[in-house]
Amino acid sequence: MEVPGVRSVTIGRVLSATLLAVVLTVLAAGCGSDSSDELNGITRVPPAKTENVALPDESPESKGKTVALKGEDGGLMLVYFGYTSCPDVCPTSMADLRLALADLDPEQRERVQVSMVTVDPKRDSGKVLNGYLGHFFNQGEYHSLRTEQPGKLARAEKAFGASHELGKPDAEGEYDVSHTAQIYAVDDRGVVQVEWPFQTDPELISQDLKNLLENNSNPDA
């Protein structure tokens, strides 16, 4: 759906960025080994770390409270950088993630949080972001992360190796929005255990989640 004032990056550009990430990861893997070799997604060597990254959460439960970008004890946080006006890549990624999470049992599902960080806070108010995520997940299952401070957003992206760019507005005020389209799985130590490129099969994501949860510490321990 075309949204006035916004044009999304093309899928081709997203796939080009994803291919680069895969190539870099393969090269890094040749220099060492990792216990997550059996995972379907991309594992970096060394892994990205986000333990010192936090952003305001606009979800109804948090109401602006700052949330660390890492899983709760024994759990995982799935982090995605995107924007609600995205016509293709973002809704596809969220729909795939919803399917992957539906394959978890109730105990596993309770240990997984979903966090979307908007890269277009000018248009994505907290209300807009909550409404968008509410189409894919139940209330209480997601964090709507939003900051109007470019420096905070840039630091969060840097920790994950992500990026975005807002194009120059044209005469009608429309502009391109390009962004990294990975989904990142962060454990309770703030370590990115795996990331999934755009259009990864939801079944493969689900397999990775089950694997990580099984090998992570017991949330009640």
- In a domain, residue 175? The reply is yes
Rounded to two decimals, the pTM is 0.82
**196 in a domain, yes or no?**
yes
Domain that residue 30 falls in:
7-215
| SS3 state of residue 207 | helix
80 C-beta neighbours (distance < 10 Å), count: 23
Residue 35 in any domain: the answer is yes
pLDDT at 192: 98
Residues sharing a CB contact under 8 Å with residue 146, sequence separation 6 or more, in sequence order: 55, 56, 58, 117, 118, 121, 124, 125, 126, 129
Residues 6+ apart with CB under 8 A from 74: 111, 188, 216, 217, 218, 219, 220, 221
Residue 221 covered by a domain = no
In which residue ranges of the chain is pLDDT below 70? 1-37, 217-221
Q: Give the CATH number of the domain where residue 13 resides.
A: 3.40.30.10
Record the tokens describing residue 127, joined without a space. Answer: 């209300």
Q: What pLDDT is stored for residue 46 in this prediction?
A: 95
The answer to whether residue 104 is domain-embedded is yes
Using the structure block, give the residue that is written with the tokens 């393969």.
26
Number of domains within the chain: 1
Confirm whether 2 is domain-assigned. no
Residue 1 belongs to a domain: no
